[in-house]
Structure 1
Amino acid sequence: MVAPACGESEPTDSGLSTQERQQLEQHISELEAQVRELEAQVARQQEDAATSEKEKAEMTAQMKTLREDLAEARALLETQDWQGVLVRLEAAQAEIASLETRIAGLDGSMEFTAALSFGNEPFALDQQYTLSTGEKLTFTELRYWLSNIKLLKQDGTSVALPGSYYLMELLKEQYVEGGNQSGSTPQPMLPANRREQVNVAAVPAGVYTGIEFSIGVDPTHNDNLSLQAGELHMLRNMTTVTWMWFTSYIFTKTKGQYVAVDGTSNTFGWETGTNNDFRTTRQTFAAPVSVGAHKRLRVSLRADVAKLFTVLSPSTTPTINVGQADARATLSNGFRDMFTLVSVENPNRW
């Protein structure tokens, strides 16, 4: 872009084409959109009791300067003072970068735990549990996608935690489906794992009254395996050829053996994974909590696997998959309803 020399006393448009003027106006609009996002983040910091008054005052002053820079850029655009527009835009970009750095340094963190149980008993693989019907169960695998975590605010709005796609699981070592099974290269393995906790490093500062999260993968990512976010990956044995024609990810896996009341036994395998199986749950905190640079958040829940069997029975429904919409819906509701809030802690970060 060609701009007038700094020494010109009268504005002129001779150095800019119509396209270049439009690009300048678009650039101002883009920066204004960034400023609106920053205003929301600064507003959250203003609510955070952990943020010092000095920090709040400095951020407020920066926001005022930013707005003034962009307002002046707009005014100069009307007078065709292109050099002045460029100077104001450079100042605004520098201020935005400074504010983003400052806000990032004030983020809090969260430890989220969903401890598995079976009723009042600890949950473990290969341990036998008895249902109220007398049916007995042992488990060989339990996995589900925990996704789309949001923190809730008193005014009814929410703050989404980007990239929150986590695979919660209790499983034994198993081969990776779709891995190399020929030649001299060993077939890759998934290690045995128990995963009931996630740690979120960057939680926007603010005062929160609850948490919302989903079981499964939202349609945007479920329908397009090429979209990468969080821990979503094809080689986690949560996609399979039996589902690929219909959807992308398996949302939940529940596998094991059962012994029916009449003494007969067999294996069972339950899976969900269509967009209709996506479920969301909310948990309300007993009191608001403040998250920020000096305050972190610990949310502890119980995930009661017995809730999956209040309606469904492995002896009557040993298999649940893509062809059983009603059973999948019931199972999906069971996963949604298995969470109970145990405690919320708000300790100092250091």
Structure 2
Amino acid sequence: MNRIFIFALAAALFSSCSNDDDTQIVTPATSGDMAITLDARVGSEDFALDKDFVMGTQTLNFKKLRYWVSNMILVDTKGTEYKVPDSYYLMEEVGDLDLSNTISSKLTYPANKRETISLKNVPAGEYKTIKFSIGVDSKYNDNLSLKAGELTIANGMSNLSWMWHSSYLFTSVGGTVKNGSTSKAFTTETGLNTNYKTVSIDLPAPINSSTSKGVVLNLDVTKIFDGIDVMTNPAINAMTAPLMSTVSTNYATKAIIFGSEAK
């Protein structure tokens, strides 16, 4: 009889412990997909091609806006970094581009607008900071035959004739500039390893990779030209190294800010 009682008590205790354990099971948080949007603006206006924008005493009309975003890193609230693999993205708003002068065969690059980067399978976490670079790091910039992400010389975002250095264009924006009755075509380009710049954006509040759709960052094109007189300097490239450095720094420190959490 005592043996039966002891066996029943042990069974009850085991059942109780099992029930307690069941209540403590936690389903692991799953990875999620996030979108990083870089919304091009001209001050308070939405950026657009073939539209006049007044910037100080000058009026700019844009034909293209193109730039590389690379090596994206998400930093969580514990300081852990998630480095997005193969993160090389060409952001752009362009009409049809004739690339006959940049490659050996006839090629027209089709009109395109791309402002959003879609990140897949982002590890579960609360992320507080977004880091990325404008341009292409030296590993790939010094060897155009290497492939990663969206890197290719077939889209016209490379230069095979900048002095002695064949490399990617980091940024390219162009169109026409007018001041009174005077009008000029302009092209502002950056490149070369010294102008590879990193942007760090602290979010006002952490976002959850499992539930948030992502964030919207604003790229203010007026800030790209901060300290630059476009009418006086209609051609900025490797031949105007100090001005190219100023434009690169503007991209990294002034032009890109947090806009909102994606809805």
The reply to whether TM is greater than 0.5 is: yes
1:309 aligned partner, one-letter code: F
In the other structure, the counterpart of 1:327 is: 243
Q: Where is the strand percentage greater, Structure 1 or Structure 2?
A: 2
Match of 1:151 in 2: 74
Query: In the alignment, what sits opposite 1:116?
Result: 40
Partner of residue 302, structure 1:
218
Larger gyration radius, structure 1 or structure 2: 1
Q: Which has the higher relative contact order, 1 or 2, with Cα contacts under 8 A spaced 6 or more apart?
A: 2
2:26 is matched with which residue: 50, 53, 71? 53
Distance in structure 2 (CA, Å) of the matches to 1:54 and 1:117: 42
Q: Do 1:113 and 1:299's aligned partners in 2 also have CA atoms closer than 8 Å?
A: yes
Partner Cα separation in structure 2 for residue 201 and residue 214 of structure 1: 19
Residue 266 of structure 1: SS of its match in structure 2?
strand
User: What is the SS of the residue equivalent to 2:167?
Assistant: coil
Match among 309, 312, 315 for residue 231 of structure 2: 315
| Residues in 2 aligned to 1:248 and 1:180: alpha-carbon distance in whole angstroms | 17
Equivalent residue pairs, number: 237
Pick from 235, 256, 259 the counterpart of residue 339 of structure 1: 256
Give the alignment's TM-score, normalised by structure 2: 0.84
Q: Secondary structure at the match of 1:313?
A: coil
Give CA deviations for 1:174-216 in whole Å, capped at 9, x if unaligned.
23345553xxxxx332110111111111212222111111110
Q: Which amino acid aligns with 1:342?
A: G
Shift in CA distance, 126/53, structure 1 to aligned 2, threshold 3 Å: same
CA shift, 1:115, in A, is 0.9
For the aligned residues, what is the CA RMSD? 1.9
Q: Are 1:107 and 2:31 an aligned pair? A: yes
TM-fit CA distance, 1:54: 4.3
Mapped pair 1:217 → 2:136: yes
Letter in 2 for 1:324: T
**Cα separation, partners in 2 of 1:202 and 1:234, compared to 1, 3 Å:** same
After superposition, residues 160-309 of structure 1 pair within 5 angstroms as 160-177=83-100, 178-179=102-103, 181=105, 187-243=106-162, 245-261=164-180, 263-292=181-210, 295-309=211-225
Where do 5+ consecutive residues of structure 2 fail to align?
1-24
Residue 238 of structure 2 aligns to a residue whose secondary structure is: coil
Partner of 1:96: none
Give yes or no for contact 2:129–2:203 (8 Å, CA) kept in 1.
yes
In the TM superposition, residue 136 of structure 1 has moved relative to its aligned partner by: 1.2
What one-letter code is carried by the residue in structure 1 that aligns with 2:208?
S
| Equivalent residues of 2:162, 2:238 under 8 A apart | yes
- Percent identical among aligned pairs is 37
Alpha-carbon deviation of 1:289? 2.2
3-state DSSP class of the match of 2:239? coil
Deviation at 1:335, TM superposition (A): 1.6
Q: TM-score, normalised by structure 1?
A: 0.64
In the alignment, is the contact (CA less than 8 A) between 2:93 and 2:113 conserved in 1? yes
